[in-house]
Amino acid sequence: MNADASARAIDAVVRTRTGTALAANEIERLVADFVAGRIPDYQMSAWLATVACRGLSRAETVALTRAYVTGGETLDFAASGRVVLDKHSTGGVGDTVSLVVVPLVAACGVAVAKMSGRGLGLTGGTIDKLESIRGLRLELDADDVYRMVDQVGMVITGQSAGLTPGDKVTYALRDVTGTVDSLPLIAASIVSKKIAVGAHGVLFDVKTGAGALIPDRDRAVELARLMVEVATGAGLRCRAVLTDMSQPLGYAVGNALEVREALDVLRGREVPGLTDICRTIAELMLRSADPDLTPADAERKVSGILAGGEGYEQFVRWAVAQGAEPAALEEPDGLPTAECRTQVVADRGGYVREVDPRAIGTAAMNVGAGRFVKGGSLDYSAGVVLRHRVGDQVAAGEPLAVIHHRHGVQPPIDLVKDAFQLSESAPPSRPVLLQVI
């Protein structure tokens, strides 16, 4: 430890507690001291807890974001001569948007570089879903990332350990000190990764509702606005959408099941809710890359790509270039398929009023689609496929959902059945897109 660094850390805690703003260089030095081991955990924990209670100004949050990037690896796509975009979702049950939007935008001619993570809990993770594709490599070095963007216009890879070292070490503290849900700390953590991957712009998809990590709408709006402001302050082209997660986004919940559904959407199949929000996000990303593109032109471009199946062709080109076996995507049983399928049927007729996304997500976890502990194994074939969504009319004895599972795994029939709430009259329709920020 270093006495001067400790004195600076104590001063930062006191000033933040009293509402006195820290200069950008002071925040950068505080983070650098902690990364280098010059101050102890308890001093950085004290500052993080103070931030969680008192907050940070926008300028301080931008400074913290940049401090997280300093000293780590960064990617630079300037040599490509192309605008490269990224997309981030705060997560939700059955959220396959990235699997659709990234190849869709790439098929429209705009490069996308996305670093994704694994799932823990109900919301799953893009990397886990893609690992259900045989042979697909998802741990790439910088040269591989550049090559993929140059050759096929897109890349999806796991997060590099060398990115944002400040965020990595401070997040470990936040995870054990009750400061994970601090909005300035969330925003700095997310945006710092977008800067490090070299994106010129980013689209934030902030979920809200029962199946989201941030259920409260007002809080989700606050986070979306903060991320846009911080990202814009860091020089990124940026938009955000607020989307509804009061029911699973699509029909499929589970790794290979969600990949199948995403491929169906890319082939032109309409999946209520999922297809609509993917179109909207893709259009916003195209307009971010080309500010002269009108909303109508962006809509026509995206709709044409979906109708022609070019998004699917782009996905296959990318996956094969990243090592996937073509048969895994082109043959009907190429993706992992469950040994057993158990139907869950309606006890009575009516209209679907609610589908509890947390219950569906928990059921999928219970049959092996998610992890209860970090590093746990997955059954890529497992999950739940809905047969009905909110607003659908069902008859007694009609399937509500199908549980995909292995032999010997008890399907949580009651949990899935109880997730569906029926009423005698049709409920009002719910928009998936709640707000554009």
Which residues form the catalytic set? 88, 167, 174, 189, 193
Q: How far is CA 305 from CA 37, 282, 297, in A?
A: 51, 11, 12
**Alpha carbon 371 to chain centroid, angstroms:** 17
Distance CA 275, CA 266 (A): 9
Q: Residue 306's closest CA among 340, 333, 259, 271?
A: 271
- Two tokens, residue 410: 């008890």
